[in-house]
Amino acid sequence: MAQHSLAPDTKRRQIVLASTSPFRRQLLARLQIPFDIADPGTIEAPVPGELPQDTAVRLAIAKAHAIAGRFPDALIVGSDQVAFAVGQYFGKPGDRRRAVSQLAEMSGREIIFHTAVAVLDSATGSTQSACVPTEVRFRHLSGDEIERYVDADQPFNCAGSAKAESLGIALLEHVRGDDPTALIGLPLIALCAMLRHQGVPLP
């Protein structure tokens, strides 16, 4: 477990990010509040017939609850992202072959990235959650473009096989959504509202 703190304050509730994602860790660090991180060990899989936004919210909440027993008086942040288009899910590819295959399938298509965030008060059991959709249209990509991108960015742990915050932006025609941090993996606008509701002082 690692801790990130810019200005320790003993009056603050402990905040725990239920994720090992470096992207979510970097995003939460933007808020300049102390937080711990813990691995929820949650299996990320959709339920047959479940809407993608419901999958994202369910998994975000499940990740927060998975570590609640270790942090009995904390605000636990869980998050999950589901990429979806026309009845098809695009998960984390895990390796080069799957990443190349995913990007070939997404070429020229609009994909909706549903990014959910949840805040669990482990002392009371109360939970807040929200899901922020982001519309992403991919350019028509050649095989060479896809392979060059995958080799350069190695997006093997990213849903949809593209890092929009990195070289992946070159693959896109447009991005449309209410929160630019949602596409990266943690909707900070929604999260800030939830933390304020719990009494966490934010600008």
115 contacts 135 by C-beta, under 8 angstroms: no
Catalytic residue among 36, 54, 80, 151: 80
DSSP H stretches of helix in the chain: 22-29, 52-66, 96-106, 143-153, 180-184, 188-197
Cα–Cα distance, 134 to 46 (Å, whole number): 19
Catalytic (active site) residue 80: yes
What span, in angstroms and rounded, lies between the C-alpha atoms of 129 and 135? 20
Residue 133 CA to residue 15 CA, distance in Å, equals: 25
Smallest Cα–Cα separation from 167: which of 177, 158, 155, 180? 155
Q: Which residues are catalytic?
A: 80
